[in-house]
Every structure is written in structure tokens, then in C-alpha cells.
Structure 1
Amino acid sequence: MSLNLFIAVACVVAAILLTIATVRFFFSARQPQTQAAFKDQPAETHASAGDTLRTRRSDNRESIALLTRQLVVSAILTLLVLLPALVRALYPNVVPGWMVEPWVQAIIITPVMFYSGAPIHIDGWDALLRRMPNMNSLASIGTIAAYAYGVLVCLFESAMPQAMREPYFEVTGVIITLVLFARWAVDMWLPHRPAFPLQERVDRVSRVWVPITILIALWTFICWLIFGPQPSFTRALLMGISVLIIACPAALGWAAPLSAGAALDDAQRYGLTVRTTSALQQAKDTSVVFVSSALATRAEQAVAQLSGTGVAIAEVDARRTDEAVRALAERRANGATVMFIGDGSEDVRVRDAADIAVACVTLDNPEAAPIHADVIAAPADYACALKLIRLSKATMRNIRENLWWAFIFNLVGIPLAAGVLYPFTGWVLNPMLACVAMILSSICVVLNAVRLRHCKLDGAW
């Protein structure tokens, strides 16, 4: 045991008290404070740093422009720190020593931490205070820990052993850049659309996962502080930081938005304009399709294709609004997921009565398209329902694959970062390796999402 018995007991008691406080704060029976419902922002409303990452139904031009500037600054400055470190690790004599000096890296990465990272810190800590922690909360804690350790290296480098003098400023930059890119991709792919319903489930998981990760990092620090080799404090701090880094939210945070974005692009290639991302999630469960009588006589082939998939087909006279609404409501009341396909001339109440409303109208004037339709299809595209169902199944399968990958990555990575192999092999996970692993997991999620661009909606899978 590296510490004397009194200090060790004091550390354990402090950790137990912090654990109890954390559990009571995040998991008490009292309902957490919820955030006010979002209201769409006018196009020219002033955007603050925190707004660029808050969950909302749309982003105005100013907030997207601000987020873009923050991302560009973060990416450029992070590369200025990351590339010399990687090249020097492979070819020690190629990179001048001053380029990897801790103070030089600190100067370069500080704008990333406090300018580019501002929305992550603001939103993350706001979520923590509301007892609804999200992935930004974990990213903020991880970057603060890595940056603080780097500052300690700058100030007390000579007092640290040689193996502990790596500042890991590049880790701070990589985490902030990946999280900002995830949000930027969401803004560019999913503008003016409600939040993806499945992402709300991911957010609920995050409210449990983030506190658990914090506690794992805390106890990792305590165990290494008490039982680890000297210098125990520095090594314990590094191991705790490694846990926070490898559990960073990029892969989990990207799982649904990137797949949804790729699916929307795929829909456009097949003539579908998906206006609500909830349609992507619900369409796979469609059990009955109501077709407006104005379309039915011209949609026999599409109806036959749908019948072959086990989906029930029904015709409804949308001109008789009350009867049509009642017919759709009855099927939904019996547990069916209902899709309605009309020509846009029907009363909006008919479209609102369905889980998914498809309007087959011309797109020559997008502003004239029905506002309350979830999906817009071409007037002659009577196979739109089949395309949408296939796209939904492919999208949800892709998202599940991403989520499973993120879950397995954390299930394996966090114990490694905590040092479970050290007693048997003497091996520990360097924070920089944890950062590289996090990058690779994010790349896997991106590549898997891109696969959606190659799925076929008008033929066999």
C-alpha cells in the first residue's frame, strides 16, 4: 500500500461520501428539473455559445455560423498539437523539440478549451445542475481533467517522473473537435426537424451512464492512489482521466443523428422528402396504410407490393373528413401504426390522425407543400410507402448497430482504462491510446452510417 493507513482510510471514506452524494443527487426519487419547452428561434436571433449545442427543433443561421467557426478553430489548432506529437512518436528526430513543449501546446490548445469548447462546457454543466447529465457533461469533465493535468505538467514538470510528463493537451482538442463535429453534422443534416425520437432514449441512457462513469473514474483514482506504485497520485490521476476519455460521448452521440442524416440523403435520391425524423423511426412498424380514394385507382401495383409485406391496405374517402379521421383513429386505438397517403388536398385533420402522413404532391414550389405532412413524395410515386418502410427498417437497424458498437466499446474499454490488467500483466492504458481508441470508435460509427447511402429502396435488399 503506497499511502499510510490513516490517509488511505480517509480517502476511502471521502470516496464513499462522494459516491452517496452522487447517487442521491442524480438518482433520488424527486423528479429532476426539466428544461423549458423549446421555441423556434427567428432567423436573426442572437446566438450564445451554449445555444449551439442545446437540443432544439431548429437552429438559426447565426448559431450555425458560430458553431462552424468554433469547429474550424478547434480542428486547426488540435491538428497543430496532434500531428507533431504523432510524428514525433514514430520518428523522434523529425519534429523539433519546441513543437512538443508543454507550454507551446498549452498556448495552442487554450483557445480550443475556452472558445471552441464553450458550448460543451455550458450545456454539459447546465445539464449536470439540472440533474439530467448528457454526453456534453461527460465530455466537459474529461476535457477539464485532461487540460488541468497538462497545466500541472507545465508548472511542475521538473518535479514529475519522466514517464508522467506527457501533458495530453491533444486529448482535450480531439474530444472537443469530435463533439462539435457531431453537433455540426446534426445541424447541417437535420435542420428545422424535431429531435429524433430514438435520440431521446439515448439521452435517457446518458442520464444514468454519465454518473456511473464519473463514479468509476473516482474509484479508479482512489484504488490507484492507495494500491498503485509511486508516484501514486500522478498515476492515479492519469488512470482516472483515461476512464473519462475512453468513455467520451462521440460514438454514442453520433449513433442516431449520423444514421438519420444519411437516411435523409438516401430518401432524397428516391424522390422522398422526409420532414419529420420520427417518420424514419415509426415507418418500420407500419401495420396498415390508408390510401386516399383519389389515388387508389392509380396505385394498384404499389398496393400489391405492400400486401406482399403483410401490411394491411385500406381505402378511405379523405373528402369526408370526419369519417376518414374516425377510421384512422379506430385503427390507432387498436394498437396499429397507421400511415396515410393522400394528394395534399385533404383536410389537415386527416393527416394529423395518422402516425405517418405522406402527401403525393409536386415539389416545383416547396413552400406550397402541405405543412403537416411527414413525408412529401412525387404525385406519381405510389410506391412511396414501401420505400419509406424499407428505409425505416434499414435506418433503425443501422442505429442499433451503432449503439451496440458504442456499448461494447465502453464495456471493454473502461475496464482497460481503469487498469484491470495491471495486476496480471503490468499493462495500463495510456490516455493518448484511450484518445486514439475513442477516435477509432467514432470512425466506425461514421463508416457504418455511410452504408445507408447504398441501400436500395425500390428493389431487393
Structure 2
Amino acid sequence: MKTQVNGQTMFNTDANGLQGRSGTDPDAERKREIKVLNRRLVIAAALTLPILVFAMFGMWLAVFVPMGVVDCFTNPWVQFVFITPVMFYSGWPIHRTGWLALVHRSPEMNSLVALGTAASYAYSVVVTVMPGLLPSGAREPYFESVGTIITLMLLGQLLEAHARLGTGESIRALIDLTPKTAHVVRDGNTLDIDADRVEVGDVVLIKPGEQLPVDGTVISGRTTVDESMITGEPIPATKAEGDTVTGGTVNGNGTLQYRATKVGRDTVLSQIIELVRTAQTSKAPIQKLADRISGYFVPGVMLIAIWTFVVWWIFGPAPRGLYGLVAAVAVLVIACPCALGIATPLSVTISTGKAARYGVLIRSAEALETTREIDTVVLDKTGTITRGKPELTGVSLVNDVLGDGGEDALLSLAAGAEQASEHPLAQAVVEGAQRRGLTVPQPDSFEAAPGSGIVAHVEGHEVVVGNGDLMKNCGVDVQSTSSVCKAVAQSEADATQVFADYAQQGKTPMFAAVDGQLAAVLAVADTLKSDSAEAVTALRERGLQVIMLTGDNATTAEAIANAVGVDHVIAGVHPEHKAKEIARLQNEGHMVAMVGDGINDAPALAAADVGFAMGTGTDVAIQSSDITLVSGSLSGLVTAIDLSRAAMRNIKQNLGFAFGYNGIGIPVAAGILYPIWHIMLSPMIAGAAMAFSSLSVVLNANRLRSFDPNKIKPRKFAFKLHERHVELAVAPTKSVDASADAPHDVPEQHMKKKEGSAMDMNMNASANTVKDPVCGMMIDPKTAAASQDYNGKTYYFCSDNCAKSFAADPAKYAD
């Protein structure tokens, strides 16, 4: 720690006798700690080893070395000279920390070693300086035990320091992702500057193979970017004008220019690093339990040591005092709870760092532990199971209006007609045509029919795209169907049946007519993410109940649920009621995880036992969550659950090692085996056992470094229901089983199919959304294209066209 004294910076010595600088790199602090520990350990080992060897094996060594050498190193005064530096220099951090803890009435692991070595050293000094004070049979010094115990203790601390240094690998790897320099375009000139000097608004030039220094938005160029180090996704993402890019990712073969939007601590990479650091320094509930046990354990061990001495003094053989002292010191040394102190934090640190490398950001150790107990996973639909963006998913020709042109010719005209519209459904048609490599012509004229569709003239054709009402108003007969429809639909169904089938599948259907004749039925839908079905299957294989909670209509919700294999569906839930649904499940005794991405999901994420936010979602949702899935993929949820289970299993094994050694070692050290086999545990052996206990925990915790989500075998857990009482503001409802059409006690509004036009995108309705009064689309006011005030109320619009229609006749659309 550092303080300011008379304008000068003073550095205080920490509990380990090391000097630290506040605000410096934690790894640098650990390296300095390791350097000092190495020096103390080398001195301790060098001075202790000859004393230990000659004290333990002097009789055998006399055959190989002169007897004078043996007598020298077994002389108490020589041992005193050798071991005193070990006691007061090498052992200083242990004694300082241990005695300060005793003074403050909070004894801990160092206190036990400090008491044991102090007793042994003091006894040995009396033997050396004033042997006449002791009976002739009790004049054996224990300097070698003092040196050995301190040396082993330092070795254990060095192992722990190296282990903690290793746990910073994930953070160091993330920090190393940021390049040192950046190419910035200023006043028409390209300058190479330090990456930390890039400012918001700067134009950054990225060449092939370079790392991006800051976050931003692409303004020119096209390339692929490897984002695996941030999201965990191995497939490079295509980036073009308007796309966002993240600092620390690696550019492919193209050249980009992008405008910096987030720099310094505001970048995604910086926030990830901070989240990982916070998680690694937090305490899991099981660690708090271990801390409470330690609070009772250390004073308990001291009492056991005292009573061990008393019992030996009363009932032991002569010399009773010597036997009692040896047994008491052995109890103090072997009971040192070093392993207990690192059993949990070491596993938590390795686990959270490992999770970050797979694109899973765990906010706290408590979240890591609680994830292990989850038995029910509640999934939002839009942006979680689905992509959250409408796409063209179907084109069904019903009349061969354009001759040999077929689907492509029809879709090209429809996309040309929709090109002038800013409506999300229109953009889905345009993008669908572009993905097929079709030319999208510019319309000669365009007219929007709010809530119904559009009418346009494209390449000499009148093109109408919209719902049945628009077709009727334009004189198009939707019942007029040629044999093409039958071939496409593979039934005797007409165009209206194709339209209905698309709607039943949860898609938004639209008729398309050319020159007054019905030509096709187009389908637009919010498509599934590529791994949603696989992730849901993996969750069910792990014994988890999976529920989809959505504000969408029951038809669309059930279609999505059937496609991915979700167990239950709760549809038509208003956003403000999502948190109440979470509370209802909790009151039934379930441990609930909520996965969402929108602002409307934030209350439910906060209410859940563990909230998972999609990294592709809103900042509010991410801030309300306990764990963030950076890639926005549900496979990250499976990884988080598997890692949590592995971590908690590892922690319990560590605690088993720690308590196991103490449970066996303390009675043996106290002398329980002496009456039967005349076996006593030397303090040196006790010190070795203590060090081996810590080594066992370190080695076991490091097994988590080999965690690979692709190699995990699914295991079903037997979950217990918990007695819980979570406050509910409304009457609870029951879930709708989409897989079995059994009756359920569900409010009618949860099951009723929402009515609306073909242009209605109810699937995106959420807590903070409002309806566009012109087209009926549900939109977020924060992202609305325009807004207008009328009669004291603010109205929001999905596009400028809707805003213009409203402005022309507000009374027609106002409530």
C-alpha cells in the first residue's frame, strides 16, 4: 500500500514482508512476492539442510565424513547460529502475520506456525544456553525442526504464489490483445500513435492481419474479423459499412476504416477484463463457509495443542514435558489450514478465467456457485433463441406471371418495390434478394399503405406487396391460383392456404402481385440461431427443465418451441409480468436461470437466481445479469453450467483434501497412536504433511485448466426443490406445454393469438415498446425512426413514411 507523507509517496510493507504499489499490475506484485519468497526460501534451505542431515543421519554419515564434522553440525551452538537467521529472516513474514493476527484476536494459519516454531526455538535456546535448567533426558534441541517447518511453510507459500500468478493468464491474454499502436487518420494524414491516445470520433485505419485498437463503427471497406478471443466463436464475422467492430479482435485480408466510438476503459475488452478481475476477487458462499470454519478452527487447534501438552504432562512417560511440547508443536504445525485458505479462491480464479476464454463472463464467484444449483432455465425468444431480426424465409409462386423468370424474377421485382420502404419486413425482402445475388432495381414510384403493405412501379410493372386487404383494394384476386401453386404447396391448397400455413409456422406472410395478378406468397420470420436447438437439447440432457417465456402470440411461440425442443412455453406475457413468472417458478421451489437480451428482460434477469444476458443485447440487460454470454449464443449457457459444475466439484475435492489431512493428522500429532504402537509424529513430519496438503490442493485446482466444453459428457443431476417465499404481485399462472396439448390453467391472454395485419411484427413486443399508430408495429421508443406530439401524447414511428402519413392526418391514427 502507498500513502502520502509530506508530499512524498511512502510504500508500506504488506503482511508478507513485501513492498507493494497501489494501482500497479497485480501480476507484477505477485512476481515481486515470488522473488522475495525465493530469496527467503533459498537462505532457509541452505542453512537448514546441513543441520537436518547431520541431526537425522549423523551416525551413518560418520562412516563417510570425519567425526569432527559430525560433531560440529550436531553441536547445539552451531545449530543455533545456522537456524537463527532462518527463524528471524526467512520466517519473518510468517511470524509478523501470525503474531499480529493473535494480537488482533483473529488467529489464522500463520498464527499456528508462529506459535509452534516459537515454542520449539525457545525450548532449543534454553537447551543450548542453560541446559542445567532441564533434566538430563530432556536436553535435545529442536533447531532442525524449526528450520524444516519454516522452509516447508515458505515452499507452500511459493507454490501458492506461482498458482495465483498462473490464474492471471486469462487476464494477461486479454490485455495482450490490445495493440500498442494505432493508425489514425487526422486532417487527411495517417498517423501512428499510441493506442491509448485514440479519441472518440477518430478514424482508425486497419490493415490486413492487424488487431483493432478500440471499438467503433465501420465507415468504409469490407473484411472478415476474427472475434474468437472476445466471443469464443471460431468463425470469422464479415464486417462492412455500418457494422460495429470490437477492439482486440483480428482483421482478416481486407482493409477497413472505422470511427472510434469507445476508447480506454469504455471498450468491450476493458469491461471484460474488469469483470473477470472482479469475479476472481469475489467470494463464493462456500468460501464464506470455509472462512467461518477457519474462524473456529484455529482457536480450536490452539486449545487442542494446550490440552495435548496437559495430557502428556499428566499421563505421559518421562520426560513428560518434552513429549508434551513435541506433541503440542506437531499439532500446531500439522493443523495449519493453508490448504483450506486456497481451496476455494484458487478454483474460482481458474474457473472464471477459463470461462472468459470461452466467451462467458461471470460477474461473481456467487454466480459461479449458484449456476451449479440451477434446475430450470427460462429463455426469452427474440434475440435469445432467435436472431432478433426478420429474414426472408420463403417464396411460394402461385401464378407464372413473369413467364420463364420464376422465383428470382418475382423476388427481384418485389425487392425493388420494397427498397424504398424502411419497414423491417421490407428490408428483410430486399436483403433476401441480395443474398441470392439478384439485382434489386430502383422503383419508378412508391406508395406505402400503412398497416397493409406497399404499391410501386418497377421496370414497367405495377408491384403490390402486402396483406389480403391491400390485394382486395388493388383489385387482386387472391383466390385465383394456377397449377403452380399446387405444385409448390404439394396439395390442392390455394394461395390463401399457403398464406395460412406460413402464419401457422410462426412466420409473417405477405401476398405479392404483379400487374394486377397474384404472383406469390412471401414469408418473413425471425429465424433461429444456428445452435439454439443443439443447446436446448444439451440443457435437457443435463436434467434441466427448459421454458420459453415470451410476449409473442402463442402460435409463433409454439412453432419456435417445437423447432428447438423447448419443454414448456409461456406466451403472451407482458414484459412487466416476466419477473413475476420467474418469482412463480421460484415459489414452486425451483432454482431459476433467466436468459434474455432486451431492456424488457432486465427485471426478470435481476429477479432470477442467475441472470444470463446475451452479449449481443442491450447494456441494461447485461448490467442486470450475473453472467454475460459474449457471443450471444446459447451454447455459452451450456458451457457456463458445465464449468460451474466442474468448479464446484473441484472445490469440494479441495476442501476434502484440506479437512482430510487435518482430520487424520491432528489426532496422530497429538499422540493417539503412542499408547498402542509408541508412534509420535515429529514436527518435521507434520510440516511436510502440511506442505503436501497445500500441494495437493494446488495440483487438483489446476486440473480445471484442462476444461474443454467440447469434451464434457452430459450428466443428469438430481435436483431438490427449495422452500422459498418470493413476493408475488399478481396471481400465478401455469406454463403451457407446447409438446403436449394438455389443458392448463393459463389466463386467456397468454394463449390468445394476437390479431393484426400481415405487416404486424408483434414478436418484438416488449416492456418498453409502443405501437406505431400507422402500421401497428411494436417498436422501442429509444430506437424509433421518428416521433410526434399530438393532443398531449407522444407517438413513435418505425419509419419516416409512417411519420409522414401520421402528420398528414393525425386524427385518423391517434387513439
TM-score (norm 1): 0.75
How far is the alpha carbon of 1:241 from its aligned partner? 0.7
Correspondent of 2:104 among 105, 126, 136: 126
Taking the TM superposition and a 5 Å limit, the aligned residue runs for 1:329-368 are 329-343=583-597, 348-361=602-615
Is the 8 Å Cα contact of residues 182 and 250 (structure 1) preserved in structure 2? no
Equivalent-residue separation in structure 2 for 1:413 and 1:117 (angstroms): 23
Specify the alignment match of 2:299 in structure 1: 211
Equivalent-residue separation in structure 1 for 2:305 and 2:366 (angstroms): 36
Specify the alignment match of 1:49 in structure 2: 14
Specify the alignment match of 2:462 in structure 1: none
Specify the alignment match of 2:539 in structure 1: 306
Taking the TM superposition and a 5 Å limit, the aligned residue runs for 1:168-179 are 168-170=145-147, 171-175=149-153, 178=156
Secondary structure of 2:88's match?
A: helix
Specify the alignment match of 1:29 in structure 2: none
Equivalent-residue separation in structure 1 for 2:15 and 2:592 (angstroms): 38
Cα deviation digits, residues 332-351 of structure 1 (max 9, x gap) = 23322121223365564332
Secondary structure of 1:285's match?
A: coil
Secondary structure of 1:340's match?
A: strand
Does residue 78 of structure 1 match 2:332? no
Secondary structure of 1:273's match?
A: strand
Correspondent of 2:577 among 314, 318, 323: 323
Specify the alignment match of 2:185 in structure 1: none
Does residue 240 of structure 1 match 2:337? no
Is the 8 Å Cα contact of residues 290 and 313 (structure 1) preserved in structure 2? yes
More strand per residue: 1 or 2?
A: 2
Which structure 1 segments of 5+ residues have no match? 1-40, 54-58
Secondary structure of 2:104's match?
A: helix
Correspondent of 2:664 among 403, 412, 415: 412
How far is the alpha carbon of 1:123 from its aligned partner? 4.1
Is the 8 Å Cα contact of residues 596 and 612 (structure 2) preserved in structure 1? yes
Equivalent-residue separation in structure 1 for 2:16 and 2:91 (angstroms): 17
Is the 8 Å Cα contact of residues 288 and 312 (structure 1) preserved in structure 2? yes
Equivalent-residue separation in structure 2 for 1:356 and 1:150 (angstroms): 52
Specify the alignment match of 2:86 in structure 1: 108
Q: Which moved more, 1:391-400 or 1:238-247?
A: 391-400
Correspondent of 1:295 among 362, 384, 387: 384
Equivalent-residue separation in structure 2 for 1:184 and 1:430 (angstroms): 29
Which is greater in Rg?
2
Q: Which moved more, 1:429-438 or 1:301-310?
A: 301-310
How far is the alpha carbon of 1:381 from its aligned partner? 2.6
Does residue 154 of structure 1 match 2:406? no
Secondary structure of 1:101's match?
A: helix
Secondary structure of 1:217's match?
A: helix
Equivalent-residue separation in structure 1 for 2:543 and 2:93 (angstroms): 54
Query: What letter corresponds to residue 103 of structure 1 in structure 2?
Result: V
Cα deviation digits, residues 282-334 of structure 1 (max 9, x gap) = 11211111222221122222122212333122223499652222222222233
Is the 8 Å Cα contact of residues 324 and 350 (structure 1) preserved in structure 2? yes
Equivalent-residue separation in structure 1 for 2:313 and 2:286 (angstroms): 40
Larger RCO, structures 1/2 (Cα 8 Å, 6+ apart):
1
Secondary structure of 2:622's match?
A: coil
Specify the alignment match of 1:427 in structure 2: 679
Is the 8 Å Cα contact of residues 50 and 123 (structure 1) preserved in structure 2? no
Equivalent-residue separation in structure 2 for 1:307 and 1:277 (angstroms): 25
Specify the alignment match of 1:7 in structure 2: none
Cα–Cα, structure 1 residues 98 and 228, in superposed 2: closer, same or farther, change >3 Å?
same
Equivalent-residue separation in structure 1 for 2:317 and 2:123 (angstroms): 20
Query: What letter corresponds to residue 706 of structure 2 in structure 1?
Result: H
Is the 8 Å Cα contact of residues 384 and 632 (structure 2) preserved in structure 1? no
How far is the alpha carbon of 1:71 from its aligned partner? 5.4
Query: What letter corresponds to residue 419 of structure 1 in structure 2?
Result: G
More helix per residue: 1 or 2?
A: 1
Specify the alignment match of 1:386 in structure 2: 638
Is the 8 Å Cα contact of residues 98 and 104 (structure 1) preserved in structure 2? no
Equivalent-residue separation in structure 2 for 1:64 and 1:119 (angstroms): 22
Secondary structure of 1:335's match?
A: coil
Equivalent-residue separation in structure 2 for 1:154 and 1:321 (angstroms): 76
Taking the TM superposition and a 5 Å limit, the aligned residue runs for 1:364-379 are 370-379=622-631
Specify the alignment match of 2:735 in structure 1: none
Q: How many residues align?
A: 405
Cα–Cα, structure 1 residues 452 and 344, in superposed 2: closer, same or farther, change >3 Å?
farther
Secondary structure of 2:608's match?
A: coil
TM-score (norm 2): 0.44
Which structure 2 segments of 5+ residues have no match? 4-8, 168-275, 387-528, 552-572, 714-815
Specify the alignment match of 2:705 in structure 1: 453
Specify the alignment match of 2:114 in structure 1: 143
Q: Which moved more, 1:196-205 or 1:316-325?
A: 316-325
User: Between the two proteins, what is the percent identity of the paired residues?
Assistant: 28
Query: What letter corresponds to residue 287 of structure 1 in structure 2?
Result: D
How far is the alpha carbon of 1:249 from its aligned partner? 0.4
How far is the alpha carbon of 1:213 from its aligned partner? 1.7
Equivalent-residue separation in structure 2 for 1:177 and 1:73 (angstroms): 12
**Please, what is the CA RMSD of the aligned residues?**
3.9
Equivalent-residue separation in structure 2 for 1:257 and 1:448 (angstroms): 13
Cα deviation digits, residues 255-298 of structure 1 (max 9, x gap) = 21222223224323433222211122111211111222221122
